[in-house]
């Protein structure tokens, strides 16, 4: 299956996780967020999870402050890994994960429960990842595995927050970089929109998916996981 293996890069990212403190840009609490279901019990989006200004501030912060780990285009994936050549950074930050969760996500998922354990959603993985894709970069077909965070909680959903993209993008141009899910012969295409959050089921119920190549411009993404306990 080459690039269609269960992706094991979670362990690789965790081994390079930073523990230094970052002074993140402010994220406001929203009271009017809404979930839109893309594929029942598997994929949902939250438009305007970040405001346009929050996205601008976050991208400037990433470019100025975050020591992204450079991509290695010549990297050949090991067995069980998918090809990826985007720049990235990982940090353990419990406080910021709580800020993200309590900014409006908590009220949307408060009644969600684990498929396996029936335990409720309780927060986000403090392992925060930052992805920057330049023109020509991508993340091949893979599955996201369920993980246990530093607090002993178990994940079942991936959270992606797109910091740029969409027809109204006026700061950082992006063409391409879609997140594509594969359900038998059907393709479910999620195009990055500035400030939009994407939640998709992972672990046992994860759909094969990939981040398509960025054709022009840059793509910025924040990543965490929804945890249950």
- Per DSSP, what are the bridge partners of residue 14? none
Predicted pLDDT of residue 92: 97
Q: What is the pTM of this model?
A: 0.91
Count of structural domains within the chain: 1
Element containing residue 95 per DSSP (H, E): helix 94-100
| CATH number of residue 14's parent domain | 2.60.120.620
Residue 142 CA from chain centroid, whole number: 14
Q: What is the tens place of the pLDDT at every residue in 35-62? A: 999 999 999 999 999 999 999 999 999 9
Domain containing 175 equals 2-228
Query: Are 214 and 111 in contact, with CB atoms under 8 Å apart?
Result: no
Predicted pLDDT of residue 80: 64
Distance CA 95, CA 142 (A): 30
Residue 60 phi/psi, 5-degree rounding, is -60, -40
Once rounded to an integer, what is the mean pLDDT over residues 210-219?
Answer: 97
Least confident range from 22-36, 73-87, 112-126: namely: 73-87
């Amino acid at each position: 299956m080459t690039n269609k293996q269960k992706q094991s890069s979670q362990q690789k990212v965790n081994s390079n996780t930073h523990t230094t403190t970052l002074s993140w840009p402010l994220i406001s609490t929203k009271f009017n967020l809404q979930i839109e279901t893309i594929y029942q019990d598997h994929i949902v989006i939250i438009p305007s999870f970040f405001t346009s200004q929050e996205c601008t501030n976050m991208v400037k912060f990433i470019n100025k402050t975050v020591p992204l780990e450079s991509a290695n285009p010549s990297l050949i994936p090991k067995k069980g890994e998918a090809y990826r050549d985007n720049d990235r950074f990982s940090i353990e930050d419990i406080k910021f994960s709580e800020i993200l969760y309590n900014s409006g996500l908590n009220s949307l998922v408060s009644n969600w429960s684990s498929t396996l354990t029936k335990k409720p959603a309780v927060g986000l993985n403090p392992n925060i990842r930052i992805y920057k894709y330049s023109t020509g970069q991508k993340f091949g077909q893979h599955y996201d595995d369920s993980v246990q965070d530093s607090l002993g909680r178990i994940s079942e959903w991936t959270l992606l927050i797109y910091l740029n993209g969409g027809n109204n993008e006026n700061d950082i141009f992006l063409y391409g970089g879609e997140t594509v899910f594969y359900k038998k012969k059907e393709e479910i295409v999620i195009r990055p929109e500035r400030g939009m959050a994407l939640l998709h089921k992972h672990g046992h119920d994860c759909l094969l998916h990939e981040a398509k190549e960025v054709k022009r411009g840059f793509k910025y993404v924040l990543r965490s996981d929804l945890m249950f306990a």
